[in-house]
Chains A and B, each alone.
Chain A
Amino acid sequence: MTDRTDRVEDLLVAFLPNLRRFAISLCRSRDVADDLVQAACERALASADRFEPGTRFDAWMFRILRNLWIDVVRKRKTAGVEEDISERQDIAGAVSGEREVEARMTLKSVADAIDDLPDEQREVLLLVCVEDFSYRETAEVLGIPIGTVMSRLARARQNLASAAGISAAPARSGVMKGNA
């Protein structure tokens, strides 16, 4: 029985909701996400013997899916297809000063603010804050140094906070200061 639970084909179906959430957050399109999830499952089943039992299955799946997504983005870039999502993000990053002003005027929902993060900040945020991966595990999934995980994650959270108006309200109030 324990053997069976460590096999890709036995773990895959139950993991679909998580994989799909990660995919939707990554590519911000349900249709693209579902195709991506299916392709990732196909690839996972084809290379199931490369999954090491005892290691994190979710990390393994996220890595497969994210690599497929990187391929899609790369192809879109070289083909110059439609509106390039990551380019849009670059532009958004370049005019962040304006965006902050805009954000202060109209606060976004947290979900929208996450969507608007640059790709490399969003994926780090997803793995650490949403999926509860450690920095080390996140670095392994994304294939980047742990220091890069930390700097991207800090920026992601600062951007998220200002876009969605998140503050540490309970602790920051002047009331507290007054009490002290």
Chain B
Amino acid sequence: MTKPDFSDEMLMRFADGELDPQTAAAIEAAMETDDDLVARVGLFIETRAEAKSALKPLLDEPVPEKLATAVERMVREKQAREAAVPPSVKVIPLRPAVPKNVAVRHWTLPLAASIAAVIGGLTGYWLALSPVGEQSGLQVAGVDSAALYQALATVASGQEKQLAPSQRFRAIATFRDSAGAVCREFEVDSPDRSTVISVACRQAETWRFSFAVVAPGTDSGYAPASSTEALDAYLTAIDAKAPMEAAEEATLLRAIAAK
């Protein structure tokens, strides 16, 4: 009797169910009379079963807390980013970007002339700019400019102040722009939990608002990171200096408030 010659690889494919039906049938037929063949096929079946059961305990092992926590945090951050990024973040360039080689006199242009666009759309909350005149500047629903101006001149960075029952002002930092003007980065939370991130700079004895982003708020009150990216880009564009120390800021704010 001549035995058909089956390679180990072929027998393995048979054992793994990866062989065409015709060859599989031939092997099955041969196995009926060939114990060696049965043993060779059996080896592949056994090694698969043994490997699987040997590594089963690893699957039942609890994932170390440190790892699980780290991954869960990454997932949450990703979900938060996705929730924050889409159309709800609106960049409002109140001034066109100033090319690096253009002199600083741009900053002295009347505010109204340099307004590019104001994008609204968030219910119950808006930014509006009134013409240069008796009350130029940033207006926030339910907050008069005076309260905002006062907050800008008095609230130390890192501190908060209630402007209106549902309007919370938060000073983030004080710094100088490339022209040496004193600027303040701040946020204002609104009742719908959205947040305006804005930059105001001192020009001609008053505050000029040069940048604002409306971002959906989070439970923490702080604006999501994605919306501060626009701010970072803006700060880079105006060549903002590093935030001031508390003492320097306090001196400057006192001088401004005294005027």
Chain B residue contacts of A129, Cβ below 8 A: 47-48, 51-52
Report if A18-B43 is in contact (Cβ < 8 Å); known contacts: A9-B78, A150-B12, A164-B50.
no
Query: How many A-B residue pairs lie within 8 Å, measured between CB atoms?
Result: 124
CB B42 to nearest CB in A, in angstroms, measures 2
| Interface presence of B144 (CB below 8 A) | no
Look across to chain A and name the residue whose beta carbon is closest to the beta carbon of B33: A180
CB B126 to nearest CB in A, in angstroms, measures 33
Interface members, chain B 68-106 (any A CB < 8 Å)? 68, 70-72, 74-75, 78-79, 82
Find A172's partner among B42, B44, B45, B51 (CB 8 Å cutoff).
B42
| Interface presence of B258 (CB below 8 A) | no
Chain B residue contacts of A154, Cβ below 8 A: 8-9, 12, 44
Whether A157 and B48, one on each chain, are in contact in the complex, defined by CB atoms closer than 8 angstroms, is yes
A interface: dominant SS? helix
Chain A residue contacts of B255, Cβ below 8 A: none
Find the residue from A20, A134, A150, A157 having the highest chain B CB count within 10 A.
A157
Look across to chain B and name the residue whose beta carbon is closest to the beta carbon of A146: B18
Number of B residues with CB within 8 Å of any CB on chain A: 41
Q: How far apart sit A154 and B41, CA to CA, in the bound complex (Å)?
A: 11
Look across to chain A and name the residue whose beta carbon is closest to the beta carbon of B16: A128
Find the residue from A25, A34, A38, A168 having the highest chain B CB count within 10 A.
A168
Look across to chain B and name the residue whose beta carbon is closest to the beta carbon of A170: B42
Chain A residue contacts of B237, Cβ below 8 A: none
Whether B54 and A38, one on each chain, are in contact in the complex, defined by CB atoms closer than 8 angstroms, is no
Find A38's partner among B16, B18, B71 (CB 8 Å cutoff).
B71
Supply 17 further A-B pairs (C-beta < 8 A) apart from A134-B18, A168-B40: A13-B72, A16-B67, A16-B71, A20-B63, A21-B55, A25-B58, A38-B71, A41-B71, A48-B78, A110-B50, A128-B16, A150-B9, A157-B47, A160-B51, A168-B42, A171-B42, A172-B38
What are 6 sample pairs from A and B whose C-beta atoms fall under 8 A apart?
Answer: A13-B71, A111-B54, A111-B55, A135-B18, A150-B12, A170-B42
Residues of A whose CB lies within 8 Å of any CB of B are 9, 12-13, 16-18, 20-21, 24-25, 34, 37-38, 41-42, 45, 48, 109-111, 114, 125-126, 128-130, 134-135, 150-151, 153-154, 157-158, 160-161, 164, 166-172, 176-177, 180
